Amino acid sequence: MGTLVDINNVRKVYKRDAFEVPVLNGVTLAVPQGDFLALMGPSGSGKTTLLNLMAGIDRPTGGSIFVDGKEISRFSETQLASWRSRHVGFIFQMYNLIPVLNAFENVELPLLLTKLSKKERREHVQAALDIVGLGDRAFHYPRQLSGGQEQRVAIARAIVTDPTLLVADEPTGDLDAKNAEETLDLLQKLNADFAKTIVMVTHDPKAAQRAKHTLHLEKGLLVEGAYGMETAAHA
């Protein structure tokens, strides 16, 4: 399989008032197409920052990031927004559904940015909800759903545009064990049955075990990796 995400010597420094806080210190990583990768590490290790960078919602201080052959680290904000709408699906710890929209309308949101007709959008949304097993809850509002169901709606929203890459930041962090298992089952299904490339940040070793590969970060560096990648620390 080819490489989908290619990260080369990426550094990220946050500025806090007069101070500079280095978060990533030269990470090099290649994620193959169709992989299910778990990123682990202690708080502040830079795993969410790395996820944000490969998803195009943050920009590196140095280095380059290629996704599906495109160097997104050189994109403008507008180009990034357009690119994200077509290529990235997001799954958040707190689901982040829009509370004033029902499940159907939440899942439809990314499609509003496309040229699909209303009928086509409806078909796509229904298909996505069916995949996550919530076809019968389409017109329920987030407050009428359980945490697990909300997360499944969020997953449907993430896959409805058939993105190249799914990024999940602690997708089971707010769920009980049963719902966490169901969510991980769903992610595995998306990876196995639909060949979706998934990068997941997690603290939970059990969740990480469901991934094909696991990488660990510490102090902004990859310290061990399933791919045996070189990192700045190991170079």
The full DSSP string for 146-214 is -HHHHHHHHHHHHHTT--SEEEEESTTTTS-HHHHHHHHHHHHHHHHHH--EEEEE-S-HHHHHTSSEE
Separation of alpha carbons 48 and 169, rounded Å: 7
Contacting residues toward another protein, per CB under 8 A = 48, 52, 55, 57-58, 77-78, 81-82, 84-86, 90, 92-94, 96, 98-101, 105, 109-110, 112-113, 157, 169-170
How far apart are CB 13 and another protein at their closest, in Å?
14
198 CB neighbour count, 10 Å cutoff = 24
Nearer of residues 1 and 100 to another protein, judged by Cβ: 100
How far apart are CB 121 and another protein at their closest, in Å?
9
Nearer of residues 48 and 225 to another protein, judged by Cβ: 48
Nearer of residues 85 and 188 to another protein, judged by Cβ: 85
Nearer of residues 121 and 137 to another protein, judged by Cβ: 121
How far apart are CB 182 and another protein at their closest, in Å?
21
Which residue is it, tokens 């009428």? 144
**How far apart, in Å, do the first and last CA atoms of the chain sit?**
25
Phi-psi region of 44 (alpha: psi -120 to 50; beta: other; left: phi over 0): left
Question: Torsions phi, psi of 57, nearest 5?
Answer: -105, 5
How far apart are CB 235 and another protein at their closest, in Å?
28
How far apart are CB 106 and another protein at their closest, in Å?
10
158 CB neighbour count, 10 Å cutoff = 25
How far apart are CB 169 and another protein at their closest, in Å?
5
Q: Return the CA Rg of the chain.
A: 18
Nearer of residues 92 and 227 to another protein, judged by Cβ: 92
Nearer of residues 66 and 90 to another protein, judged by Cβ: 90
